Chain A
Amino acid sequence: MVYVIIKELSPSADEVIIVTSSLMKDMTSKTDMYRANAIRVLCQITDGTLLTQIERYLKQAIVDKNPVVASAALVSGIHLLQTNPEIVKRWSNEVQEAVQSRAALVQFHALALLHQIRQNDRLAVNKLVSSLTRGSVRSPLAQCLLIRYTSQVIRESASNTQTGDRPFYDFLEGCLRHKAEMVIFEAARAITELNGVTSRELTPAITVLQLFLSSTKPVLRFAAIRTLNKVAMTHPIAVTNCNIDMESLISDQNRSIATLAITTLLKTGNESSVDRLMKQITTFMSDIADEFKIVVIEAIRSLCLKFPLKHRSLMNFLSNILREEGGFEYKKAIVDSIVILIRDIPEAKESGLLHLCEFIEDCEFTYLSTQILHFLGIEGPKTSDPSKYIRYIYNRVHLENATVRAGAVSTLAKFGALVDSLKPRIFVLLRRCLFDTDDEVRDRATLYLNTLGADGAVEDMKEFLFGSLDIPLVNLERSLKNYEPSEESFDINSVPKEVKIQPLAEKKAPGKKPTGLGGPPPGPPSTIDAYEKLLSSIPEFANFGKLFKSSAPVELTEAETEYAVNVVKHIFDGHVVFQYNCTNTIPEQLLENVTVIVDASDAEEFAEVASKPLRSLPYDSPGQTFVAFEKPEGVPAVGKFSNMLRFIVKEVDPSTGEADDDGVEDEYQLEELEVVAADYMLKVGVSNFRNAWESMGPDCERVDEYDLGPRENLAEAVNAVINLLGMQPCEGTEVVPSNSRSHTCLLSGLYIGNVKVLVRLQFGIDGPKDVAMKLAVRSEDEAVSDAIHEIVASG
């Protein structure tokens, strides 16, 4: 008992001395139980130095005859591996011996420890697994461990084997016939989780799981249906055999099992069974809790998208359950599903909108009513007979609370604006709204009556009334707060349209702490759409045309400097924009008016046309500043640019966060950046290079040979050329088998001007290390082919 208490108390290092000496005596005592428990306690409270002293005893304990002692030592080893791995690794010989032990659980613990010690060494794990699958494993727990390790080995060797059976698959299949259910289930689960598993491999596993489905033990049923649910997501056909068993599970007492059965059936069902399934689900829905219901709704939604022809019965089902009792989340899920169905299945639109209208007649959630009204406003006018919906909407104006009434007024106005034939009648209705008790409703009605009633310029009005607000709300709020009442009125155009990009926080993994945010600035999300949006929102760059390519961020400062800057190069037809992402890592400083002075003396073809400074750069909040250059259109100009960061720095008091009023101008040298030919090439792959090559035709083909000089090896030469050209390797030809004397590499890309380019490179090693290369280029424009050769010749 004392041992348990010591473990709970976990004394600190100084107090521990007293306890440890008596514990160490216990470790060598004759009573086995004392030894075992002393070991466990010591290992939990000890630190590295003490550990070396008792290491000798621990090693002896691992191979002790008494299994309790051995298990205690091994389990402690597993725990210690987290804190003192080097010490534990020295025990691998003893642990290896323990794996051969006759006691079942000792083998289990030894196997676990050995695997953890060796887990980074793939070969060792492989050997361990092969020796044990052939040998005898005594306890079911150890067998389960072995199955898990086997799947790990299979996963890691998967990339190499393309054909035939996987290694160890036979072992897994054999485990399906083991005595212990634990092992059978573990093996079945492992098979279903193999990468790229085929139906043939799945069949024995699914047969076993099907047997479990009809077991009397709830745990087996649960385990089986959960695994089948996962399989159904990727291989629904394989699971269809179990449909009958799963249907009987719908009425299972355990609600989790029933829900899983329903969702699986929804994935594996085919069109004919949908109606039958819907009937069964209707009775089932009233029994289960809200959270399960939401899961079922989402499954139904995906089912409907899979079988659009069945939308009528599914839509009826959804509207029926919408009418029943339910919480907010549940109804919201249903409404969202109906909305998605209306959007994606045009035939369902009319019935769906009608269902939604009926729902808002007595919906108790304001949020949902306003959402639906807004949605009606968008979709209603597009239908064949919009006047149907007017009655429902107008009723809202009379019967509901103020928020819904205001929403209804907006919707009516939208109908009026977009459907001319209804306009006079809508006006009559809107005029009645002018007498409403709530001011928001009256304001809206007045606004719409005046703007829509006026003749002419209806299009602008529509945009004003119903267009979306481009300005991010955060910025609007901030500007309004900063606006002080004065002579000038508030100018909405002065609200910055760019959102200050916050650092992307890491998604918190369950149980782990979020990692820090230090380091180089992340820059805006790096998809070309995001960049396009960003650049087109800056008026100076808006007329540069379509963005051709944005490079990856290139660091211009070393790590751990005061200001971290990286640059993204955006290539347009006749311009190049450099976007500098800057981060200030000094808490006591606030930078203002940050610009980059670019010296383009080494790049004659470029001329600076615009620069957009960054107004303020506080601590730890990345910002962007831009410099734009003009270049001759269509010409892939290259050049070097040296950069200097210039700014006004103000001292900040870290405790209050306030900055001084006057600042000092300062400069900070950044590294050079280069615009190279590869920047003008987009990596675009082709799936069948030969076809593309043949169809391109030899008219614009250029072939030439180059001597690349001495290189480390063939792979290095190939990579150098690929990086120089900036094209996409096809069909895996960038991988050079080691020790080969020659290699053919196939590249494809899209050159500026939207010209498709295909390149075939043949490399050969001559003599000691000289690499020779034959370059064949085919493209749609011979100038481009020449340009490619130019690049290689000069690179």
Chain B
Amino acid sequence: ESCPSIKNILLLDSEGNRVAVKYYSDEWPNNSVKEAFEKSLFTKTQKTNARTEDYVFNEVGGRVIPWIEPGRVSNEDLNTTEIAMFESHIIVYKFVQDLHFFVTGAENENELILVTVLQGFFDAVGLLLRGTVDKKEALENLDLILLCLDEIVDGGIILETDANVIAGKVASHSIDAAAPLSEQTISQALATAREHLARSLLK
């Protein structure tokens, strides 16, 4: 198959336990195999230096909104993206706070394509969690993260790599969930994100 395909995307915590994962390949037929893979992958990459300090913030309309210029990935970010070969797969990964992001591809896959997927996922999560990217926030907004995973890759084929578009799609999904008063600030922020999305689509 010459279409670039992703085998799995993993989001693990600082001990290697799952936060959110999605597998797109039959190589890991049952849950115990998957967990074993995650554990050994985590131990192997733990010692490396793939850590980013924080996200890039921008001021928009008086509010500080996490915003990432489409297509431009900061050099900082790319410098901390690490890569490894593991069990005849290629894994690219990034760490922030206590979360670990992994994307796996086949041995002969173009590594840079994997990096764009990783970067898209990473930045989209950053947008959705409004900058506080740690395990607690991720678990509280697990639905957003799962939607995010769904919008990036469909059955192994890359759907979208632009973080803003991904976040926008996720936002318009969850906008219909009944929004109690306490969450209004979130919906405001997401509404702004949608605005940006609409603008970028019309470009």
A contact set with B: CB distance below 8 Å: 1, 3-4, 7, 31, 33, 37, 40, 44, 67-68, 71-72, 75-76, 78-79, 105, 108-109, 112, 115-116, 140-141, 144-145, 148-149, 152, 181-182, 185-186, 189, 216-220, 222-223, 253-254, 256, 510-511
Most buried by A among B75, B79, B112, B146: B112
CA distance A145 to B4 in the complex (A): 8
CB of B111 within 8 A of CB of A141, answer: no
CB of A254 within 8 A of CB of B83, answer: yes
Contact of A141 among B83, B113, B155 (CB under 8 A): B113
In the complex, what residues of A have CB within 8 A of residue B154's CB? Answer: 40, 72, 75-76, 79
In the complex, what residues of B have CB within 8 A of residue A67's CB? Answer: 201
CA distance A220 to B147 in the complex (A): 30
CA distance A285 to B111 in the complex (A): 27
A67 nearest in chain B by CB position: B201
A111 nearest in chain B by CB position: B3
A180 nearest in chain B by CB position: B112
Beyond A109-B157, A254-B84, A511-B26, 10 extra complex contacts between A and B, CB < 8 Å: A1-B143, A71-B160, A79-B157, A152-B2, A185-B112, A216-B75, A218-B82, A219-B92, A256-B85, A511-B27
B110 in the interface, Cβ–Cβ < 8 Å? yes
Q: How many residues of B contact A (CB 8 A)?
A: 41
> Can you list 22 contacts pairing A with B, beta carbon distance less than 8 Å?
A1-B146, A1-B177, A3-B150, A33-B169, A44-B155, A71-B159, A116-B3, A140-B116, A141-B113, A141-B161, A152-B2, A182-B110, A185-B110, A185-B112, A216-B79, A219-B111, A220-B112, A254-B82, A254-B83, A256-B83, A510-B27, A510-B88
Contact of A253 among B2, B49, B155 (CB under 8 A): B49
Contact of B110 among A7, A40, A105, A186 (CB under 8 A): A186
B contact set with A: CB distance below 8 Å: 2-4, 25-27, 48-49, 75, 78-79, 81-85, 88, 92, 110-113, 115-116, 143, 146-147, 150, 154-155, 157-161, 169, 172-174, 177, 201
B114 nearest in chain A by CB position: A219
CA distance A108 to B112 in the complex (A): 16
**Distance between A242 CB and nearest chain B CB, rounded to angstroms:** 18
CB of A105 within 8 A of CB of B160, answer: yes
CB of A219 within 8 A of CB of B78, answer: yes
CA distance A700 to B82 in the complex (A): 73
Most buried by B among A140, A218, A222: A218
Contact of B79 among A78, A105, A217, A256 (CB under 8 A): A217
CA distance A258 to B91 in the complex (A): 17
Contact of B115 among A4, A7, A141, A219 (CB under 8 A): A219
**Distance between A655 CB and nearest chain B CB, rounded to angstroms:** 30
In the complex, what residues of A have CB within 8 A of residue B3's CB? Answer: 78, 112, 116, 145
CB of B159 within 8 A of CB of A75, answer: yes
CA distance A636 to B110 in the complex (A): 59
Contact of B112 among A75, A79, A109, A219 (CB under 8 A): A219
CB of B155 within 8 A of CB of A75, answer: yes
B156 nearest in chain A by CB position: A79
CA distance A76 to B155 in the complex (A): 9
In the complex, what residues of A have CB within 8 A of residue B81's CB? Answer: 217-219
CA distance A140 to B158 in the complex (A): 12
CB of B111 within 8 A of CB of A222, answer: yes
CA distance A4 to B92 in the complex (A): 25
**Distance between A183 CB and nearest chain B CB, rounded to angstroms:** 9
CB of A148 within 8 A of CB of B2, answer: yes
Interface of B is mostly: mixed
CA distance A219 to B77 in the complex (A): 12
A78 touching B174 in the complex, CB below 8 Å, given contacts A218-B81, A253-B48:
no
**Distance between B128 CB and nearest chain A CB, rounded to angstroms:** 14
B7 nearest in chain A by CB position: A511
CB of A182 within 8 A of CB of B173, answer: no
CB of B75 within 8 A of CB of A181, answer: no
CB of B113 within 8 A of CB of A144, answer: yes
In the complex, what residues of A have CB within 8 A of residue B27's CB? Answer: 510-511
Contact of B155 among A79, A115, A185 (CB under 8 A): A79
CA distance A115 to B173 in the complex (A): 32
Contact of B147 among A1, A75, A108, A185 (CB under 8 A): A1
In the complex, what residues of A have CB within 8 A of residue B83's CB? Answer: 218-219, 222-223, 254, 256
A36 nearest in chain B by CB position: B169
Nearest 4 CB-CB pairings of A with B = A182-B112, A148-B2, A223-B111, A222-B83
B115 nearest in chain A by CB position: A219
Contact of A1 among B2, B82, B173 (CB under 8 A): B173
CB of B161 within 8 A of CB of A115, answer: no
A108 nearest in chain B by CB position: B158
A44 nearest in chain B by CB position: B155
CA distance A68 to B165 in the complex (A): 10
In the complex, what residues of B have CB within 8 A of residue A141's CB? Answer: 4, 113, 116, 158, 161
CA distance A44 to B155 in the complex (A): 9
In the complex, what residues of B have CB within 8 A of residue A181's CB? Answer: 112
CA distance A3 to B25 in the complex (A): 20
B27 nearest in chain A by CB position: A511
CB of B147 within 8 A of CB of A4, answer: yes
CA distance A220 to B154 in the complex (A): 26
**Distance between A133 CB and nearest chain B CB, rounded to angstroms:** 16
CA distance A149 to B116 in the complex (A): 21
A148 nearest in chain B by CB position: B2
Contact of A256 among B84, B88, B146 (CB under 8 A): B84
In the complex, what residues of A have CB within 8 A of residue B157's CB? Answer: 75, 78-79, 109, 112
CB of A33 within 8 A of CB of B2, answer: no
In the complex, what residues of A have CB within 8 A of residue B84's CB? Answer: 254, 256
CA distance A222 to B83 in the complex (A): 7
Contact of B174 among A1, A40, A76 (CB under 8 A): A1
CB of B75 within 8 A of CB of A33, answer: no
CA distance A105 to B157 in the complex (A): 12
B162 nearest in chain A by CB position: A105
A511 nearest in chain B by CB position: B27
